[in-house]
Chain A
């Protein structure tokens, strides 16, 4: 099986003659997904740009506020998401080896991990909100400019990331249904593979969010 991603752009030229003949274009579908992931990367890029500018400007405030975040919950979520990426990639491998039921099981494990991540996030946010820490709250507005920005960045960046996790859970639920209906199978797994790419992307974003918000103290 062709390796994903990196060699994609090099290999396109050779296969392009046959692509026009087939309705289902494996390489084309994956290419579209990769281009889409570029756009996602740039979307988060705008946020990371804001983060770096304000981090530079308010280094001390960021340092102080980050100490308030719960490292335990953050670490737990990192472990959960990394494990879910493993189960996702294993579900694809299982599918390629024609073990459809195992693949199905692993997809469901991934969904459950995603849900667990969101529950964790919900607990974490609720704890902050109970203490009156949320954008534009009286508690936050009494803080310094740097701290206001830190908490806003925290909510916006983990919020948009959480939204992506939610979308990912929805997508994997769709692949579960497709697998049941045999629309996804050992010979036609590009939907599962693309969903996996998306899930790994969401994971990678978290890998950067985690140190930027929890570990910089």
Chain B
């Protein structure tokens, strides 16, 4: 089943378009170019976010010596805003998703190519605004990424610039979601039935709906906050009869589903990689597909677990706690299915698979500590401590981040037509993994000891663990430099990649590396499921 794979054709890099030079990228409606532009944008913002994070860790070795308290507050705010809204949320869907979704379903492009380009522009404008908020007037936002009212109304810092930036990013996210939903419904190749779609597509589908149905709430909430700051409308201001708790509700009605916008695509990437490197069909295809939808659905109903200490009634707290536990079920289903896929398989331990195994390990720790957070009695004790910080870095960075890295290594040969240095990839994973655990596991211990999050300084008893954590952040940074160094170098100097280096069965491996402009010479006809290994 090769769709023009053997024929030598121009790749989408070389294919002549309407424009030349830089314009051939920033005005291109080709989903592959847009995907790569997103990749560049996402990773640029990621590196800024990481830098801010490392500066925070440096302060915590010896609070006040290198960084003032005011700057520290801005650091954790902008670090959070960048990593959440500019890296983790758009990360996989907008970059890898844009590049591979149409190819995986046998289409030539997404349903609305021009809207796709527009969403990239909105992403860049929003992202630049967020970064600019650091520099305007020397007063970077200091509210934390959650923008809780009423402080976000009163603070003299540049919250409005960041808020408008995130508002625009919301539009970008909605348009991407809308595009993907329509693409998956309308542009599947003949014979590509719903249950023949690769699982990455399923996860993008669930993600896209969540983006469409949750993001508008964030949009209107942040917009109201801007109006609050400019016109004093008073919705979230107790002095004017408003209620700040309502802000928390509206914020988390979006931001909890957003957690699944972040993790679902990573789960999809992992579901692609396990069968290919086990040379077996995926175990429990439908279970994985439906668990994506299940996670997306339950994800809407658990926002209250961020607010257990806000004075909600016991009844609602118990219900939110219970539904929170339910989310763990579909997540567990996925983990066991991935493991079962390897059983009796012919496992090849190339770097994409190793990244996936690291993903499962770290995500499991993140997920299981999530159950601790969701337990009402325990939550009251660890709420607002470093335990929470450790937990969400294990899920978001250990989960989504490592899933993203796995996807980068898996699809790198297809995207760039080059191979990377496999030994260096493995080595950098090892360094990343060690650094990651030193950095974030010490946060669990700090949290249980009672260290509150977002504090500039701390009691002497926390010192040792803070130093350990900071050393971990340096190791992690080294790992990131090694990994991206390897990938960037290989883009230019790597060996030429074959069309199908891993022996994958999905459509993207049946076309040349890098793919031609229109992906397929003729639209393929699909006769069986995505992972057919004999």
Show the binding face of A for B, using Cβ within 8 Å.
12, 16-17, 19-21, 25, 27-28, 31-32, 35-36, 38-40, 42-47, 49-50, 53-54, 57-58, 135-136, 141, 144-149, 152-153, 155-156
Contact = CB atoms under 8 A, between A and B. Distances in A.
Interface residues of B, number: 41
Contacts of B106: 20
Interface stretch (B49-57, B220-228, B279-287, B369-377): B220-228
A20 B523 contact: yes
Given A20-B188, A21-B523, A42-B217, A36 B240 contact: no
Contacts of B235: 50, 149, 152-153, 156
A54 B212 CA distance: 27
B427 to A, nearest CB: 43
Nearest to B223: A160
A149 B177 CA distance: 34
Contacts of B213: 38-39, 42
B189 A149 contact: no
A32 B187 CA distance: 13
Contacts, number: 114
B203 interface: no
Interface stretch (B33-41, B241-249, B401-409, B493-501): B241-249
A136 B233 contact: yes
A49 B216 contact: no
B219 A43 contact: yes
B530 interface: no
23 contacts: A16-B186, A17-B190, A20-B187, A20-B188, A28-B182, A28-B185, A32-B115, A32-B178, A32-B179, A36-B174, A39-B215, A43-B216, A46-B217, A46-B220, A47-B220, A135-B233, A141-B240, A144-B241, A145-B240, A146-B241, A149-B240, A149-B241, A152-B234
Given A31-B186, A46-B220, A148 B240 contact: yes
A12 B232 contact: no
Interface string B21-59: 000000000000000000000000000000000000000
B434 interface: no
A170 B132 CA distance: 31
A96 B443 CA distance: 65
A32 B212 CA distance: 11
B114 to A, nearest CB: 12
Interface of B: 106-108, 111-112, 115, 174, 177-179, 181-182, 185-190, 212-217, 219-221, 224, 227, 231-235, 240-243, 246, 250, 523
B185 A136 contact: no
- A interface majority secondary structure: helix
A57 B245 CA distance: 14
Nearest to A159: B227
Contacts of B214: 42
Nearest to A50: B235
B182 A31 contact: yes
Contacts of B186: 12, 16, 19-20, 25, 27-28, 31
Given A46-B216, A49-B250, A152-B235, 19 more contacts: A16-B188, A20-B107, A20-B189, A28-B111, A28-B186, A31-B186, A32-B182, A35-B178, A35-B182, A36-B178, A39-B215, A40-B216, A53-B243, A53-B246, A135-B233, A135-B234, A145-B240, A148-B240, A156-B224
Contact of B232 (A135, A149, A153): A135
A19 B184 CA distance: 11
B509 to A, nearest CB: 20
